[in-house]
Amino acid sequence: MQGSLTNVTTSVWYYAMARVVQKFGGTSLASTEKICNAARHVQRAINHGDEVAVVVSAMAGTTNELVSWTREISALHDAREYDVVVAAGEQVTAGLMALAVQALGIPARSWLSWQLPIRTNDDHGKSHIESIDTSEISSRLSEGEVAVISGFQGVSSRERLTTLGRGGSDASAVALASALDADLCNIYTDVDGVYTSDPRIVAKARKLDKIAYEEMLEMASLGAKVLQSRAAELAMRHKVVVQVLSSFDNVPGTLLVDEDAIVENTVVSGIAYSRDEAKITLTGIPDRPGIAAGIFGPLSKASINVDMIVQNASDDGSSADLTFTVGKADLERALETIRHVHELIQYQELLFDANVVKVSVIGVGMRTHAGVASKMFETLADKGINIQVISTSEIKVSVLIAEEYIELALRSLHTAYGLDRE
C-alpha cells in the first residue's frame, strides 16, 4: 500500500497514491466500446500513481441469457453445473478488460477465481466468500501491473466453480478490497451515486456525498439498486471505504463511510420505498401460546421471508388480528401455506392486499434525535395517507401504505425532513 485516504470527512475528498479496487457493472461493460471506456478509469488511477485491482461483472444481458439456457434444459438444475455455465460471463469480461487496459499501454492480466484463488463455501448459486489469496496479485500490484478479477464467483474446497448469487460482483469487489487492505473501493455503475430518494419520483432528490454503512444497508435491503446489500454489509463489517459512482463520467459519487465520519447534522439521510410488498391479515385468531409459531414456522419452512408483523388483541383479549407482509412473489405460496394450517390456527378470515408499498425514512441521526417517527406519522396524516403497519429499527422507520399514495408520500416526507435540493 502506498498511501491512504486523507480527507474522507468532507464532501470533496482527495487522496495521495493509494491502492484502489475498481468494480464495473454489466451496463458499464455492455460492449467492447464501453469496456474500453471503463479501462480509461483504470488509466486515470494508474496515472495518479495508484495500484489498481479491477473487478468485473458479466456484460449486461449475458448472465440472464446463460441462466435462461440452464432453465431451458432443466427446471431443477444441478446448482454446480449452473455455476459452471453462469461463471463464464465474468471470464469473458475479465479477459477483455485485461486486453483493454493493455491497449492503453498499461501492464495487466486477468485472474479467474480459481487462479487466485477466491475460496467460497460450496453453497452453489449463492455461496459466500471465505478467503481470498492476494499474495501473488499484491506483489504484482506494487510493480504497477493491473489485476483484473472475474467477479461474482469463486471456487469451493472441492475445486468446483461457485457463484455468489445475483449482484455478487459488488460483494467480490468489497471482499477483495478488504483482503488487499485497499484504501478505496470504487463501484462504477450507471447512476452517479446514492440519492436522498428515487430521483424518478422525487425531482428534488439530492445526491449524497457520504452515507453511513448502516444507512446504505437499509437502503439496499429496500431495493435501492446502486449497491447489493451483501456488499454493503461486508463493507460495514470490514470498514472498507466504498464509493458508488458513474462509469460514464468522471465526477465523485457517494462515499460509504463509518457513521463517525459523517459530520453533517441531518437526522434523516434518505426516504426509500419498496413496491415488492404484499400484506396478509388473519382475523379472529385465538389468543393462546404457540399461535405465532404455528403460522410463521410453516412460512419459514417454505422459505418465505416475513417482514413487518403487527398483532392487535381484541378488547376482551380472547382473540386477535395478525397482520404481516411478504414479498409479492411469495404471496400465493404464503396464502396456500396458511390455508394448510387453518385447522390448527382456527383464524376467522384470511385477507390479503398486494396493492401496498413500504416507505422508510432512514438515518443514523435517529439514534440521537427524537421525533423522527412522529414527524413521519404527522406528515402522512396531513396528506390523508392511512398507515396500515409500522415497523421500526434503530435507524429506520417504515410504514406500509396503499400503493396509490407512493409519490405523494415520498415527496411530502422528502420536504418534511429538509432533504429537498435548493
Give the C-alpha distances (Å, rounded to integers) separating 131 from 20, 155, 418.
Answer: 19, 10, 43
CA distances from 56 to 79, 110, 149, 219, 316 (A): 22, 10, 6, 23, 60
Nearer to a second copy, 57 or 274 (CB): 57
Shortest spacing between CB 65 and a second copy, in angstroms: 10
Measured distance CA(27)–CA(31) in Å, rounded: 9
Looking up cell 383464524, which residue turns up? 347
Residue 314 CB neighbour total at 10 angstroms: 13
Could you give the strand order of the β-sheet that contains 108-111, starting from the edge strand earlier in sequence? 108-111, 146-150, 51-56, 19-24, 184-189, 242-246, 254-257, 210-212
Closer residue to a second copy (CB): 247 or 360: 247
Cβ closest to a second copy, residue 100 vs residue 137: 100
Nearer to a second copy, 99 or 350 (CB): 99
The nearer residue to a second copy, 110 or 269, going by C-beta atoms, is: 110
Helices and strands, number each (H, E), in the chain? 13, 18
Question: What are the b/e assignments for 193-231, b being 16+ CB within 10 Å?
Answer: bbbbbbeebbeebbbbbbbbbbbbbbbbbbebebbbbbb
Minimal distance, residue 145 CB to a second copy, in Å:
12
Could you tell me the smallest distance in angstroms from the CB atom of residue 103 to a second copy? 4
Min dist CB 66 to a second copy, Å, is 7
Q: Which residue has the cell 435548493?
A: 422
Per CB under 8 A, the list member of 143, 159, 315, 394 interacting with a second copy is 159
**H helix intervals, 286-352:** 291-301, 331-340, 342-345
Nearer Cβ to a second copy (161/419): 161
Contact between residue 55 and residue 23 where contact means Cβ atoms under 8 Å apart: yes
Q: Write out the binding residues for a second copy, residues 5-34 only, by CB under 8 A.
A: 32-33
Q: Which is nearer to a second copy, 159 or 394 (CB)?
A: 159
Closer residue to a second copy in complex, CB, 36/335: 36
| Least gap, CB of 384 to a second copy (angstroms) | 53
| 111: number of Cβ within 10 Å | 23
Nearer to a second copy, 98 or 179 (CB): 98
Smallest gap from Cβ 166 to a second copy, in A, equals: 18
Distance between CA 294 and CA 344 in Å, rounded?
8
Measured CA to CA, the distance from residue 248 to residue 191 in angstroms comes to: 9
Are 154 and 80 in contact by the 8 Å Cβ rule? The answer is no
Beta carbon of residue 171, minimum distance to a second copy (angstroms, whole number)? 22
Task: Please report, as residue ranges, which positions from 55 to 114 form the binding site for a second copy (by CB under 8 A).
Answer: 66, 69-70, 72-74, 77-78, 80-85, 87-89, 91-92, 94-96, 98-100, 102-103, 109-110, 112, 114
Site string for a second copy, 246-275 (x = CB under 8 A): ------------------------------
Contact between 343 and a second copy by CB under 8 A: the answer reads: no
End-to-end CA distance of the chain: 40
Q: Least distance to a second copy from the beta carbon of 96, Å? A: 6
Q: Which stretches of the chain bind a second copy, using CB under 8 A?
A: 32-33, 35-36, 66, 69-70, 72-74, 77-78, 80-85, 87-89, 91-92, 94-96, 98-100, 102-103, 109-110, 112, 114-115, 159-161
